[in-house]
Chain A
Amino acid sequence: MTTENALARIRAQIMWNRLIAVVEEQAQTLIRTAFSASVREAGDLSAGVFDLDGRMLAQAITGTPGHVNSMAEAVGHFLARYPVAQMHEGDHYLTNDPWLGTGHLHDFTLVSPTFYKGRAVALFCSTVHVVDIGGRGFGPDARQVYEEGLCVPIMPLARAGEMNQDLLGIVRINVREPVQVEGDLFSLVACNDKGSTRLREMMAEFGIDDIGPLADHIVEHSLTATLEEIRKLPAGVYHNALTIDGYDHPIELKATLTISHDGIHVDFTGTSPVSGFGINVPMLYTTAYTSFGVKCLVAPTIPNNSGSLAPITVSAPEGSILNAPRPCAVAIRHVIGQLLPDVVFGCMHPALSNGAPAEGASALWVPQLRGGHGVSDSTAGGTDFNVLSFHSGGTGARPGKDGLSATAFPSGVRSVPVEITESIAPVIIWRKEYRTDSGGAGCMRGGLGQIMEIASAENAPFSVFAMFERIDHPARGRDGGLPGAAGTVSLTSGKPMRGKGQQTIPPGERLRLELPGGGGLGDPKEREREKVERDVRDGLVSPEAAEKVYGVKVT
């Protein structure tokens, strides 16, 4: 190889790393400036850079597998509506259409061209979850997407640097928190601008006028590397089905996963039809969480881009809950989306030499609490408030390792401290700790769920917008491992509550959430005695369960 070629190869590697750093910086800009708590605290955002053909070249690693490649697809929709030839420097294009963006109205996606030396050279894309989008608010109770709030089709948020004041006016008047939502749209602009600036600097530094060759390098290398990983697996057709609670009746998620020389395809034929409530999943969101599940097991260290994602394809019959058409309600599509990696893991288990992790709690438990005017069935008053936090049960036991307790998977979001919640809302959280015996027993134990007890600080009624899963259908174990404990929702006085939908907690009562545990892996009787003893000593497993399930008597 000539020195020049060698230098060019080293340079391509350096530029690839730089591009990943650029999108991290782009994402950090959004995290720093956004208003939505779920963006700042939880990392519910995404950011990435694309070539002019809409190929994703790099994506920031954020808390949201749900955006893994839904964003990649979204950019294609933008380009179909506004071809690059029609774009100008300073243009920014926006949508929150669930079927063109990332699956629900609360996510705004912005695409912005980068111009260098007078020519468009790349596109930056970012997504932010806003605090409100009008309609009924964030919850599962809507019957159609029209009830869920304002929908903005793909259109310019700015033209040649001029903000689209008409659009901003429409957004402001339709949402409950106009200042914050508008602020978040400005954050998107700032975030893409930061990406563009850094990309131009990189191009100047490396003396390139076009990122085409770099894009080819990234996509080809990633594609090859991903295919190499896939080809290590035994080709074949694998099946799995998972039954979950749904809103008003159980839902079956059925998958056929095909590993071939050319990639992995997951098809969801046989899955239940759409729901009459807001738990439906648009196809692109199904693709995102399914691909994430595959990627975790097959190629976790290969960066996300069009090349590494190309060999992983997903399909679902239109009209099934995993390919819900407009006008299905979709606000809390994450609840089902987050269970898709469990479906994939079940398919992949026989194909992996060490097997796959057992099922976990998987869907986040997001108690959205509201009090005050008009939000509970009672008229007893109390301060107006609206508070949201993200909590997790246990993850499934992993080959060679126990599951993680009270830890999010597949979502990567962070919870909000109890002391913060109590400082900003009139609630008292009386309890938040591990739930003994909730981890599915096994040679490797599932992660534990947690118990939370929440009351009004004012002895006033308040309501919970429940969107909780794994109440009727706990996380299953694998290879002889037992299921994790099912979740429960109740009042501390003992009255059971529903897992989905708005309900009122009367004055003097506490809302009690018992979050599900992860499934176990392997026969509990084969668990090392010392581990059982330590679990008993730590109070994670009761002495009774140790004796009965693990066959270990601890005195």
Chain B
Amino acid sequence: MSPSIGTRLAVDIGGTFTDVALETAAGRVTAKVSTTPSAPEQGVMQGIEAALTSAGCTLGDIALVIHGTTLATNALIERKGAVTALITTEGFRDSVEIGYEHRFEQYDVYLDKPEPLVPRARRYTVPERMNARGEVLRPLEEAAVRRLITALEADGVGSVAVGLLHSYANGAHEQRIREILLERMPDLVVTLSSEASPELREYERLSTACANAYVQPLMAGYLEQLDRALRAGGFSGPLLLMTSGGGVIGLEAARRFPIRLVESGPAGGAILSSAIARACGLEHVLAFDMGGTTAKICVIDHGQPQTARAFEVARAYRFLKGSGLPLRIPVIEMVEIGAGGGSIARLDALKRVAVGPDSAGAVPGPACYGGDGHDATVTDADLILGRIDANAFAGGSLALDPKAAEAAIDHALGRPLELGTALAALAISEMVDENMASAARVHAVERGKTLDGRTLVAFGGAAPLHAARVAQKLGIARIIVPTGAGVGSAVGMLVAPVAYEVARSLYQRLAALDPETVNAQFADMRAEAYAIVERSAGGLPLVETRIAYMRYVGQGHEIAVPLEVRDLEIADCERLQQAFEVEYRAQFGRIIPGLDTEVLSWAIKVSTRTEPPLAAEAVVPREAPAPSGVRQLFDPDTGDYIEAAVYRRSDLAPGMSIAGPALIAEDETTTVVPGAFALALNSLGYLVIERQSDRQQEHV
């Protein structure tokens, strides 16, 4: 983190709420205010104001502001970006729309494919062509570029993406097109695919360039507004932006590549979970973030989240792979499924209980909110099952209506299935937990990871309610609910390093490796990454990591193989082969002797050194206070209500332990400790919940 001393503040704009976490020498305060979609900086300033007030300081005292936002994501989902044009290689006008020529849902003959951000009428082509080695097969016809300018002006284009075939190997034609455009249209915003995402696979690269161009004017405007508002309030430190890759970058880099800011909220959560893993000395963690609409699950090994170089934004069809727009940027890898407190339960064609992915959201909200929402949701089920206190939800600010929840559940499931309300509620809860557990399992197998033996770190409003059951289903025996779980992403941003990753394709067969070319490319990439990180690193020491993305010749997917931070030599080939085999074996269980390997892309990441978090220490056991009350909690094992002790989390202190069944209530969430579990507070105040017997619990 930049200034290691001093006061820092993190703001995370989500779809419904804007969360603020402020860390001072005296401790941490948090705030949650409503997001103000029309002018998001207003909600940000309100949230900051609230946090500053409770901490008793001013913007002038803040050394650093870290900001994560869903604005770029929302602009892509809601298609509210700039009028954007694409200039591409003649013959490839439709690459960005054709994609992989497949349907993401096998049986639905009525499905719609994702609408491209740039309609065909604004996709222009120019004669030019590179080959895979970056050699010019056909020179750029500059006159053709000049001829496009009239059309761009006539279309009212505000932002242009340039994406040419094989430009990752040689960006010269893309650069020349930008020069020509800017000569005549100096105010035009131009994104080059060779800069935004210089990697192989034209669909992803062009899609990324288009998405960057699409959100750039909007994001640049917003960032400027926010910066101005902060300065006007007396803030004089750096404003850093959270990226999807889990690091923060400065304003200038963010303005240039705003696409890297998508999904920064969930990245904050993963960073928090990684810090918790390190603080608690946990080698293998599963981060579980469940909010109102979706749940995100992320594998964290050795204190580091899994990363990937691609993901899909704006999935329009039940969160199905392929129904969104692919982005090729560094991301923290996670699976996101339509399972949250607001997820709607109903019966499918086979009269089976189906939950989500559609959500009642905050508006109209679950039936128990007493608003216009009358669908049965997961929150309604949690209320009926006794997990949520109707009078203490959201710190008591919203009184829940159990009658409305009951009516909704009876209507949707109870009557058609001839189940009592509680059992119908249990069916909802079991099904959503099963869905999340299944998603976690498939995600793990896709990455060659195992889940048993991990610790589940649960945060987000709904996760502590469901964590124990999901853990049971995954064979996980320990759950941690950190402090500030309700604003976990913002808390995570406080500890995110300044970091930037550059990945670029350069095809090399290992058997014919050309170290000079690779080293030259690394030198370029290194300069780019250092330039960006040094601007915001405040002189902190930097660490550099290098990765080769390798596969057996002709395979479909590459795996990340760590490299030493130095120039490559021919003699390294054997070592590289061995490192590849180690990774391959770890993921797939075996290697394929005698088959050649190839490198498709190379990556470099430059980052400020992550400070070790405050480690959990041994605690002196202390007696827990008397429970603040007792609530009827539905017991899945017996199918009946049992008495569970209720504790206020604020009444608990490190060293205390409590046997289940128990409920730990705080303003933003409630932690459910089932009968077979026991809870202890560690020195950091985290709730550590462990299964008490090795006996597999009987279910439902």
Contact = CB atoms under 8 A, between A and B. Distances in A.
24 contacts: A6-B639, A7-B700, A11-B700, A14-B431, A17-B434, A18-B434, A61-B107, A183-B592, A221-B351, A221-B352, A296-B109, A297-B109, A300-B108, A398-B109, A404-B113, A407-B103, A408-B101, A408-B102, A409-B109, A414-B102, A417-B200, A420-B200, A420-B201, A433-B91
B595 A28 contact: no
Interface in B187-228: 200-203
Interface in B43-76: none
Contacts of B100: 414-415
Given A28-B446, A539-B120, A406 B595 contact: no
Interface string B412-433: 0000011110010011001100
Interface stretch (A113-121, A203-211, A371-379): A203-211
B203 A229 contact: no
Interface SS of chain B: helix, strand, loop or mixed?
A: loop
B101 A391 contact: yes
Interface string B565-599: 00000000000000000000001111011110000
Contact of B132 (A194, A392, A422): A422
Interface of A: 1, 3-4, 6-7, 9-11, 13-14, 16-18, 21, 24-25, 28-29, 32-33, 35, 37, 40-41, 61-63, 65, 179-180, 183, 186, 190, 194, 198, 201, 204-207, 221-222, 225, 229, 295-297, 299-302, 357, 390-392, 398, 400-401, 404-409, 412-415, 417-420, 422-424, 428, 430-434, 450, 453, 457, 537-540
Contact of A35 (B107, B430, B555): B555
B445 interface: yes
Contacts of B427: 10, 13
B426 A10 contact: yes
A298 to B, nearest CB: 10
Given A300-B108, A418-B202, A428-B131, A406 B98 contact: yes
Contacts of A63: 102, 106
B510 to A, nearest CB: 14
Contacts, number: 216
A413 B507 CA distance: 26
Given A14-B434, A408-B103, A424 B166 contact: no
A194 B445 contact: yes
A68 B650 CA distance: 56
A453 B94 CA distance: 14
Contacts of A205: 473, 696, 699
Interface stretch (B172-180, B386-394, B435-443, B665-673): B435-443
B131 A422 contact: yes
Contacts of A24: 438, 442
B102 A65 contact: no
Interface string B587-627: 11110111100001000000000000000000000000000
B107 A538 contact: no
Nearest to B590: A186
A403 to B, nearest CB: 10
Contact of B200 (A65, A194, A357, A419): A419
A417 B201 contact: yes
Given A404-B103, A419-B165, A357 B109 contact: yes
B636 to A, nearest CB: 8
A300 B110 CA distance: 11
Contacts of A409: 103, 109
A224 to B, nearest CB: 8
Contacts of B107: 61, 295-296, 300-301
Nearest to A308: B350
Given A179-B592, A207-B699, A401-B112, 9 more contacts: A9-B419, A179-B593, A179-B595, A183-B592, A198-B441, A408-B101, A415-B101, A423-B507, A428-B131
A415 to B, nearest CB: 4
Nearest to B203: A417
A417 B202 contact: yes
Contacts of B350: 221-222, 225, 302
Nearest to B93: A433
A407 B201 contact: no
A430 to B, nearest CB: 6
Top 9 nearest A-B pairs (CB, nearest first) are: A431-B91, A21-B438, A40-B556, A300-B107, A538-B120, A414-B100, A3-B639, A415-B101, A225-B350
B475 interface: yes
Given A13-B427, A406-B94, A433-B92, A28 B445 contact: yes
A432 B349 contact: no
A106 B109 CA distance: 28
B131 A13 contact: no
Nearest to A187: B588
A411 to B, nearest CB: 8
Interface string B676-700: 0000000000000000000010111
A301 B94 contact: no
A61 B419 contact: no
Given A6-B639, A432-B91, A201 B200 contact: no
Contacts of A417: 200-203
Contacts of A408: 101-103
Contacts of B588: 32-33
Contacts of A204: 696
Contacts of B435: 17
A94 to B, nearest CB: 18
B431 A13 contact: yes
A407 B113 contact: yes
A453 B89 CA distance: 14
A41 B120 contact: no
B36 interface: no
A409 B108 CA distance: 10
Given A3-B423, A14-B700, A32 B92 contact: no
B78 interface: no
Interface string B340-380: 00000000111111000000000000000000000000000
A419 B166 CA distance: 7
Contacts of A357: 109
A423 B200 contact: yes
Report which residue of B90, B106, B352 has the largest number of chain A beta carbons within 10 angstroms of its beta carbon: B106
A434 B101 CA distance: 12
A164 B64 CA distance: 65
B5 interface: no
B232 interface: no
Contacts of B202: 417-419
Nearest to A178: B594
